[in-house]
Amino acid sequence: MQTTTLTSTWPQTLCDPSGRRQAKPRNKGCTMVIDKGIGQHAFADMLSTSGEYIDIVKFGFGTSTLYPLPVIQSKIALAIKHGITVIPGGTLLEAAVRLDLIPGFFRQVLELGFTGIEVSDGTINLSRTLRNDLIRDAKSMGLTVYTEYGKKLFGSRIDVTDFARTAEQDWACGAELVTVEARESGKGVGLFDEHGECREGDLSHILRVVPNLDRLMWEAPLKEQQVSLIKSLGPDVHLGNIPVNDIITLETMRRGLRSDTFELQQVPYSEYMI
């Protein structure tokens, strides 16, 4: 069976009814995808269908150490070809701190070809001095740094005053974005309650107190969380911990191509509106 080479495309406005989505490299509406262990072929399939909509891939937790080296090198190189920043999970750096293996961590990050890291203290207590040093050292090595605020313990909440202070210090040290912790479950941590619903009061408080909102990333692994943040902060909100299978779904919501965010469409005046 012969395949026909297509020369036509969808109308541009139909592809992005919001009229707001940037092409890569983006500084608005970045999407961070969490890879929890998919294989090379699945990873390549993900990039062939969704690579244009991914800005950051994070190899979750400490999974980076468990891949055969040729496999992880191949995945990293393929993501970079698609213009994607690739980082190991923040938990891996926390383990390196706890085990006094920071130089070895950075050596392997660079050797494997990672282009960024995540600095977090979701499981350990990281001093402000060491947090500053990790951010600055990574920057000096040419790595893009994403930091994370919040604990992974179920029931933990955001101390908004401390969060604002931490974010400002992280940015001053060279962090690209500061991420609000929500874990991969999206329930009972940070901004979300035990049912995964957004704590609107906490969100409003953050929006009043924290500067540079365009430099915050919100972990939002569940669809309703993504909808809530897009409606509250707009389609240009940075969202993280997006599951592999939800990348295009999220992109439709950013563009007003799903009923949940249909109102984002910039509809021209027409007879159908009379």
Q: What is the DSSP string of 200-223?
A: HHHHHHHHHH-S-GGGEEEE--SH
Short-list 186, 202, 197, CA closest to 239: 186
Q: Mean pLDDT in each 10-residue stretch from start to end of the chain (274 residues)?
A: 74 94 95 97 98 98 97 98 98 98 98 98 95 98 97 87 95 97 86 90 92 93 95 96 97 97 83 52
Domain membership flag for residue 14:
no
Domain membership flag for residue 272:
no
Domain membership flag for residue 267:
no
DSSP string for 229-255: HHHHH-TT-EEEEE-GGGHHHHHHHHH
Domain membership flag for residue 16:
no
Domain membership flag for residue 247:
yes
Residue burial 94-128, b: 16+ Cβ < 10 Å; e: rest: bbbbeeeeeeebbebbeebebbbbbbbbbeeebee
What is the Cα–Cα distance from 60 to 178, expressed in whole angstroms? 17
The domain that holds 74 is classified in CATH as 3.20.20.70
What is the Cα–Cα distance from 85 to 108, expressed in whole angstroms? 16
For residue 2, the model assigns a pLDDT of 63
Short-list 186, 180, 226, CA closest to 207: 180
What is the Cα–Cα distance from 248 to 222, expressed in whole angstroms? 14
Domain membership flag for residue 246:
yes
What's the number of domains the chain is made of? 1
Domain membership flag for residue 8:
no
What is the Cα–Cα distance from 33 to 39, expressed in whole angstroms? 15
- Structural contact between residues 157 and 190, judged by C-beta atoms closer than 8 angstroms: yes
For residue 187, the model assigns a pLDDT of 86
With a CB cutoff of 8 Å and minimum separation 6, the contacts of 188 are 154, 155, 194
With a CB cutoff of 8 Å and minimum separation 6, the contacts of 41 are none
What is the Cα–Cα distance from 162 to 158, expressed in whole angstroms? 8
Q: Which residues are registered as beta bridge partners of 217?
A: 179, 238
Tell me the three state secondary structure of residue 89. coil
Domain membership flag for residue 217:
yes
For residue 269, the model assigns a pLDDT of 59
Domain extent, residue 199, equals: 25-261
Q: Which residues are registered as beta bridge partners of 61?
A: none
DSSP string for 128-187: HHHHHHHHHHHHHTT-EEEEEES--STT----HHHHHHHHHHHHHHT-SEEEEP-TTT-S
